[in-house]
Amino acid sequence: MSVVPEGIRQWSGLDGPAAVLRAVQIRARRGHDTENGRLSAVVLSSSQRQEVGRLLGNSWALSGRPVQLRDVAARLAEHGMTVRRLVEALYGEVELDADVRRMESERARAEDKSAEAELIWAGVLPQVARDWLADEPILPAAGAGDRLGVVWEVSAIWIQLPDGTTPPVRHAQLAGVLLGDAHSLDADQLLGKLVARLAAMTQGLARPTRAGRIWRLAWASVGVLCDEVSSRVLAVNLALEGNAHAVRLCSASVGEPVWLSLRSLRGDWNAVGGPAFVCENPTVAEAAADRLGAGCPPLICTDGVPTTAALDLVAGLAAADIPVSVRADFDHAGLVVVKQLVSVAPAAEMWRFDVATYLRHTTHGTQLGHYPDLRSAIDHIGQAVHEEALLDDLLADLSSAAVP
């Protein structure tokens, strides 16, 4: 239950505000909007208007105008609350009237039936349509019309996908032609997620949750090719086996940093060799190549937040049971980098990415107390420490692990 600020709680107990909030409770039970609308039926005495005016202002209290819920919502938002949350915190969770629940249930069933019919019309098998509507958590809830609106958009895209008799189409091209924006079907867009997951369910594939190999397979299964050249990762002395183009690139670039695109990692490849290190900044990779050359242990550089290519590559190392040590800048972006790397390589160890190392490189950091974890230290101290500040230590680590 929400915690009500003491000042708001005291205001809510006055006669005028209590009358307003009880009227909102009735609106909620009837399924009406609690954040917008006019409470014309609420008649307040002069003293009650003054009490409500403590929140809405004296000008409202003197105006004679009815209570506008958007004004109440705006004032409560300043205290981190909505009108409905305040009502439920004071009076308990709102239960819809039986008639309202029945009507909402009927509307939801009718909308789902219409959505199912729309998908079947677009060529989706009936059982797949039913399963997708039932199991897709990011679809809007049925009943208000939003769900059917999104399904219409999905269907409009679905009927334009290659049907097996036409050549594949590029993902960005499909988005640009159909929606006017080449990024409208990206992995962070609702329509992109929904169409990809529908494709995966249609083909019996794993449902993609982010950009990556599973995402690309889902699109490819319905004749849509995702961009594989803009996603890239920097590598030094990475030993790969297989027939992917990245194998040849790494073999021809011993001792030198080489950019590997997602396209170059297409095909069969397997990582071999000793422990690998992962950093964030190209400066580390360049310095390691200059100092250690062909003797540098396998080193991967994400060049910022890891791309799909970087995550696929690190995931491949983890799948091959190659020990991986990861790090990034000591800042909030660096925490994201490491979190994403660990998501694909759960057994990865931290490479000088800890509280003690951070504190040693901050201004008077060691005098600022104990921190339970790195995020707490960065949050409290607020000083970024980039990998370049640790370059000598990082190169020493790589030298110790260097290939004889």
**Is residue 163 assigned to a domain?**
yes
221 and 236 together in one domain: no
- What are 90-126's pLDDT values in tens digits? 988 877 777 666 777 788 889 889 999 999 999 999 9
**Is residue 155 assigned to a domain?**
yes
What does DSSP say about strands 349-350 and 324-326: parallel, antiparallel, or unpaired?
parallel
Cα distance between residue 93 and residue 91, in whole Å: 7
87 and 212 together in one domain: no
Burial of 106-117, coded b for 16+ CB within 10 Å and e otherwise, reads eeeeebbebbbe
What percent of the chain has pLDDT above 90?
A: 68
Asked if 378 and 331 count as a contact pair (C-beta separation under 8 A), the reply is yes
Residues 6+ apart with CB under 8 A from 342: 326, 348
Give the global pTM: 0.61
238 and 363 together in one domain: yes
Where does 161-320 show beta strands of DSSP type E?
A: 169-170, 224-225, 232-236, 239-242, 258-261, 269-272, 276-279, 299-301
280 and 212 together in one domain: no
- What are 211-234's pLDDT values in tens digits? 877 888 899 899 999 888 888 999
What's the 3-state SS for 349-375? Answer: EECCCCHHHHHHCCCCHHHCCCCCCHH
147 and 80 together in one domain: no
Q: Which residues pair with 241 in a beta bridge?
A: 270
**Is residue 1 assigned to a domain?**
no
The 3-state DSSP class for residue 225 equals: strand
217 and 239 together in one domain: no
Cα distance between residue 235 and residue 256, in whole Å: 8
Sign of the four-CA dihedral 332, 333, 334, 339: positive
What confidence category does residue 166 fall into, taking pLDDT thresholds of 50, 70 and 90? Answer: confident
Residues 6+ apart with CB under 8 A from 70: 35, 36, 37
What confidence category does residue 255 fall into, taking pLDDT thresholds of 50, 70 and 90? Answer: very high
121 and 69 together in one domain: no
Structural domain boundaries, residue 259:
232-400
- What are 274-290's pLDDT values in tens digits? 899 999 999 999 999 99
242 and 331 together in one domain: yes
What confidence category does residue 369 fall into, taking pLDDT thresholds of 50, 70 and 90? Answer: low
Last residue of a domain, one of 191, 208, 225: 225
Sign of the four-CA dihedral 165, 166, 169, 175: negative
- What are 25-53's pLDDT values in tens digits? 888 888 888 999 999 888 999 999 999 99
351 and 270 together in one domain: yes
